[in-house]
Amino acid sequence: MNAITVRGLHKSYGAVSAVNGLDLEVRTGEIFALLGPNGAGKTTTVEILEGFRSRGAGDVEVLGEDPAAPSAAWRGRVGIVLQGTGEFDNLTVREIVHHFAGFYSGADDPDAVIARVGLAEKARARTHALSGGQKRRLDVALGIVGRPELLFLDEPTTGFDPEARREFWELIRDLNAGGTTILLTTHYLDEAEALAARVGVIAGGRLVEVSTPADLGGRQNALPTVRWRDPDGATRQERTATPTALVTRLAEQFGGEVPGLTITRPTLEDIYLRMISTEDPQ
């Protein structure tokens, strides 16, 4: 039950190999986050899946069809939020969303969608008057107004403040709970961890690993680091498989509270940075 299946995907630009034998599966109904540095092949891969870019070789199936030759019905089942949909300076938010809703036979209520993305108070504002974050919300509204079965989100919260990002995360969870499969690309590792059931890391045109955020790169087995301050003020640290025993020993040594005590495990960002730094670029 895959919404997306990719086998042996290749794409080159002259002598440069952007995607090199990539395999990928996105399960129906999941939120999948695709991570990778600029130039890793992430954007090229997603554009091939969306039907915007041709591939050099490989098999690609998205919602049961080849996106290189999609039917009109297929396009109506897919929602896409690009990094920038375009400028509509002379139209209001309401006019634009209503216009896009007309492209779909089973479109959602445009006014409900506007409210859903937090633009109800800006419905009659022209887009040139919107802030960067508000324009991003409009991009999202245009991507979901057709009630897509599969939604591509390319850096959807760029320009959002922290509160707006978390409100948007609730929207994504709500869409997913309603049955929408979501493929998300983001540079915010906390966003991937908060939303995705699984994440995939692309580096050098290859898919390095696919796993849950908790298990990626052996994260669940990584040793925690205990840090504390010595009596002379110097910071000490030790990686250990038995942090409780170390803290107990330190507490005895200090006769109670341990100055500056912290116990940390590698974050998803730590693991991600290690993975992309050790992968040879292609």
**Residue 78 and residue 119 in one domain:** yes
Domain-located, residue 14: yes
Are 213 and 243 contained in the same domain? no
pLDDT tens digits for range 121-143: 999 999 888 887 888 889 889 99
Q: Are residues 131 and 252 in the same domain?
A: no
- On average, the pLDDT of the chain sits at 90
**pLDDT value, residue 86:** 62
The domain boundary residue, chosen from 183, 198, 217: 217
228 with 203, same domain: the answer is no
How many distinct structural domains can be found in the chain? 2
Domain contains 73: yes
> Would you state the pLDDT for residue 69?
94
pLDDT in tens, 159-175: 778 888 888 899 899 99
**Beta carbons of 112 and 131 less than 8 angstroms apart:** no
Query: Which pLDDT score is estimated for 184?
Result: 94
How sure is the predictor about 84, in pLDDT bands with cuts at 50, 70 and 90?
Answer: low
Report the pLDDT averaged over residues 20-40: 94
State which of 186, 202, 217 marks the end of a domain.
Answer: 217
Indicate the range of 47-51, 71-75, 221-225 predicted with least confidence.
Answer: 221-225
pLDDT of residue 279: 60
pLDDT of residue 54: 95
For 183-201, the pLDDT digits (tens) are 999 888 999 999 999 999 9
pLDDT of residue 278: 66
The range of the structural domain enclosing residue 241 comes to: 223-264
User: What is the CATH classification number for the domain harbouring 209?
Assistant: 3.40.50.300
pTM of the model: 0.84
- The answer to whether residue 280 is domain-embedded is no
My answer on whether 202 and 92 are in the same domain is yes
In a domain, 15, yes or no: yes
Q: Does 118 share its domain with 159?
A: yes
The amino acid at 11: K
Give the integer Cα–Cα distance in Å for 180 and 67.
Answer: 18
Q: Determine which of 14-23, 245-254, 270-279 has the lowest per-residue pLDDT on average.
A: 270-279
Sheet-wide strand order for 31-35: 78-81, 150-154, 181-185, 31-35, 198-203, 206-211
